Chains A and B, each alone.
Chain A
Amino acid sequence: MANLGPAYYAPYPVATYDGLLTPPEGKAMLLTDIVDEEVAMREVARVMLTSDNATIFPGPQVLYAWSEEAKKKATLIKEMSEVLNAKMIPMYDYRPKYPKIDPEVEINPNHPNLTIWHNNIKAAIFIGVHCHYANVALKIVRSETDCYTIGMCALSGHEDAMATIRDQHAEDLARFIEIAKEVKQELGK
């Protein structure tokens, strides 16, 4: 996405209005720049390790999917949260919740800002969320909060996140964890 910070009440201009589209295969996107995946991984680790209340939002594809890949990913995400000193708040359901959700125990794609406001989250990784719902959530977060959003996507990525890394499978998450450990050591965290 183009700029970090609220785009006021209206959630536009969204990233595509700034000419941004998901990065090509093998690349990642940091704000407006297409970069190598490792560059993005280092920056993502740095942001998560230096932001208040950094949080990972795992979605249904790693919470419920009954596959070996999902099991590996779930284990790695738990390790990731430990390495990044990050909390985990699940996005386990895509239905809007009325009159309101409990923002301490879940995040919802239709009003993700409530969870981010309540917990004062300044950096967050979305992972395992189906792309449509991730994009909806990322647009709202972008418009309503100052949270630095990171989309770690198994498919084609998310231009409305401030950082997006695409085609992330279990082996990529393992690589990210190793990079995050290095960054953590460099930062003395």
Chain B
Amino acid sequence: MSLNKTLVDMDYLLNEAPREKHFITGAQAMAEAVKRASVDMAIAYPITPQSEVMHLVGDIYAQGHIKEYYRAEEELGTMSAIAGAARAGVRLFTATSGPGLLRGLEAIVSWPGHRVPCVLGILTRVVNAPLSIQPDNIEMAYMLHCGAVMLHAENQQDTFDYTLAAFAITEKVDVYIPVAVATEGFFVTHAKGYVNMMDEKYAYKEVDPYEAPVPAMDNEVPPARIQRDAPVQKSNFMSYLIHSVWQQEIWDSNRRAMKYIYQYLGGPIEVINPDADVFILASGCAAAQAREANRYAEEEGLSVGLIKVKAIRPFPKQEIRDALKNAKSVIIPEHNIIGWLASEVKSSIDNSGIVVDGPRVYGGMTLPVELIMTEIYTALGMETETLQA
């Protein structure tokens, strides 16, 4: 089906194409980005508890915006099929959440090593058990060490913009590893917000499979084979060396993604009130609550800074170090029990004693701004009312 789209580069699409305001859910925002990304193939196992994303992507496939849509039997099959399709040099999208992400994890963590460029939507949910479908971003912790680029969207607008940018970043020849775009299930995926979008006649230019750091599978051009990367499991030093440099190359690729995060997203962090003594640092929809706390503080005449972390991998160590160099306290609210973001920040800065571990909510809880305000008052040495039993 030909939709007569105007194919443009990502800089034009993100920064110059005229936009109109829409009121849509986060799931719709992600699907609308996919609609404008000239995706060749979407693969999914869209089961509850997921989000609407892959159902909506199925709709836009039916409308002709995507060339192929394949429903796998479960998530390991989905993620393995993504790796297989990547061998053919096509543009790929899938999305999952919580238990589905973990079921697919074995295949997902092999994507970077196999140089699979694709965009993975992660609409975060709790990890069972007990069985639940509520929002919680603990699953992102399992993704941190696989080599993938990871972006964390605060709201519906971020979800749209980050997803689009992810398609450009993942296909850069000096990156060429998967880009995960995460946002919170329910709080963002099922809630409506304003999203400025360009007309759907605009779409990202099509992928060039030959502009790649690895050969696409091509039976006319040797060396061609289904398994591109042969095993290196021999028990000798040469095999160990191959695997070690291979791993280094993946993380080098992850580091190289940073320049494109600057290009397309304006950098990996956003800083408000950089001269403050007390900061709130957050990612994803915790950043929305942090932003609200920042506004409350301003209304109360308190000087509080905000650092929103957009990129979780590559983690913006230097940028955070610079932003916090004069800070006396940094409060890190999170939607998970382990505090993976706080751990990342502590390992990035010299003065980790300034980190306030929390507040944290999980298991589906919302993150009241008042919890963050209490930490702000404490950090500023102000007396606070405490909850009485």
Within 8 A of B (CB), among A161-186: none
A-B contact count (CB 8 A): 92
CB <8 Å contact, B211 and A132: no
Known contacts A98-B234, A130-B213; decide if A156 and B173 are in contact (CB<8 Å).
yes
Query: Do residues A60 and B223 form an inter-chain contact, with CB atoms below 8 A?
Result: yes
Main secondary structure of the interface of A (DSSP, over half): loop
Within 8 A of B (CB), among A125-152: 130-133, 135-136, 139-140, 143-144
In the bound complex, do residue B245 and residue A64 qualify as a contact, i.e. CB atoms below 8 Å apart? no
Please name the residue on chain A nearest to B249 by beta carbon: A135
**Contact residue range for chain A?**
35 or more
Chain B, range 205-261, C-beta contacts under 8 Å to A: 211-215, 220-223, 228-230, 232, 234, 237-239, 241-242, 244-246, 248-249, 251-252, 255-256, 259
8 Å CB interface, A99-131 against B:
110-111, 130-131
Cα(A98)–Cα(B242), bound, Å = 13
Q: Are B245 and A140 in contact (CB under 8 A)?
A: yes
Chain B residues with Cβ below 8 Å from A11 are: 241, 244-245, 248
B291 at the interface (CB under 8 A from A): no
Task: Please give the number of chain B residues whose Cβ is less than 8 angstroms from any Cβ of chain A in the complex.
Answer: 34
B111 within 8 A of A: no
Asked whether A155 lies within 8 Å of B221 as measured between CB atoms, the reply is: no
Closest to B259 in A: A21
Instruction: Give the CA-CA distance A10 to B212 in the complex, in Å.
Output: 28
For B172, what are the chain A residues with a Cβ–Cβ distance below 8 Å? 156
Which residues in B have some Cβ–Cβ distance to A below 8 Å?
115, 172-174, 176, 211-215, 220-223, 228-230, 232, 234, 237-239, 241-242, 244-246, 248-249, 251-252, 255-256, 259
| Residues of A bordering B, CB below 8 Å | 9-12, 14-16, 21-22, 60, 64-66, 92-96, 98, 110-111, 130-133, 135-136, 139-140, 143-144, 155-157, 159
Additional A-B contacts beyond A60-B221, A131-B176, A131-B214 (19; CB < 8 A)? A12-B248, A14-B248, A16-B256, A66-B221, A93-B223, A94-B228, A95-B230, A130-B214, A130-B215, A131-B174, A135-B213, A139-B245, A139-B248, A139-B249, A140-B242, A143-B245, A144-B241, A155-B211, A156-B173
Which 8 A-B pairs have CB atoms at the shortest separation, nearest pair first?
Answer: A131-B213, A132-B213, A139-B245, A156-B174, A95-B230, A155-B173, A16-B252, A110-B242
